[in-house]
Amino acid sequence: MLVDSKKQKLSDQAVLMVAAQEAKSTQPASAIYASAVIEMKMKDAIPYREGNTIFVIHRVKDRLGTYRALNADTDKNFLENYYSFVQAAYHIGFDVLYTTFQDETVMNVFKAIFRSPPQKGMGFNPERLDQGFGVTLQLGPDRGVLQ
């Protein structure tokens, strides 16, 4: 069950457990939880937590990365958490992030953010995949290759 982070902050472990249980995936919750725990411990993982949502970013190269959102927060808070995340990711050096997911309702989060983007130069490109969806996020103006 989702937990309103404005009323109760969950531990990281609890966020992962709830996110695994709430995921609309073909994988069992236990497998989703186990992969999230392993992913969070990876050397290149950059976790960012907002409310009861944990975002895990992996740098692919330069200012390009992939990420996964692990949510245990209410829908309203999840949207607010995403607003904070996209801004933070840009400020720590990412220009473009890519994610995949299976729950089509997550697309509504991207549509809401990009109706009223928190910074200039933001955009998103959704795509339908064989097993779900992919979204490329342009987080702000392109700053070029890292020096």
Q: What is the mean pLDDT of residues 110-120?
A: 92
Say how far apart CA 77 and CA 4 lie, in whole Å.
7
Asked if pLDDT for residue 126 goes beyond 80, the answer is yes
Asked if pLDDT for residue 127 goes beyond 90, the answer is yes
Q: Give every CB contact of residue 45 below 8 A, 6+ residues apart in sequence.
A: 39, 56, 57, 58
Q: Give every CB contact of residue 79 below 8 A, 6+ residues apart in sequence.
A: 109, 112, 113
Q: pLDDT-based confidence at 27, cuts 50/70/90? A: confident
Say how far apart CA 92 and CA 95 lie, in whole Å.
9
Q: And the tokens for 141?
A: 């103006």
Q: How far apart are the first and last CA of the chain?
A: 44
pLDDT in tens, 3-26: 999 999 999 999 999 999 998 877
Helix (H, G, I), strand (E, B) or coil at 39: helix
Asked if 145 and 134 count as a contact pair (C-beta separation under 8 A), the reply is: no
Output phi, psi for 134, to 5 deg.
-130, 150
What's residue 142's pLDDT? 87
Domain locations in the chain as residue ranges = 12-138
Architecture of the domain delimited by 12-138: 3-Layer(aba) Sandwich (3.40)
Q: What is the mean pLDDT of residues 36-52?
A: 96
Asked if pLDDT for residue 78 goes beyond 90, the answer is yes
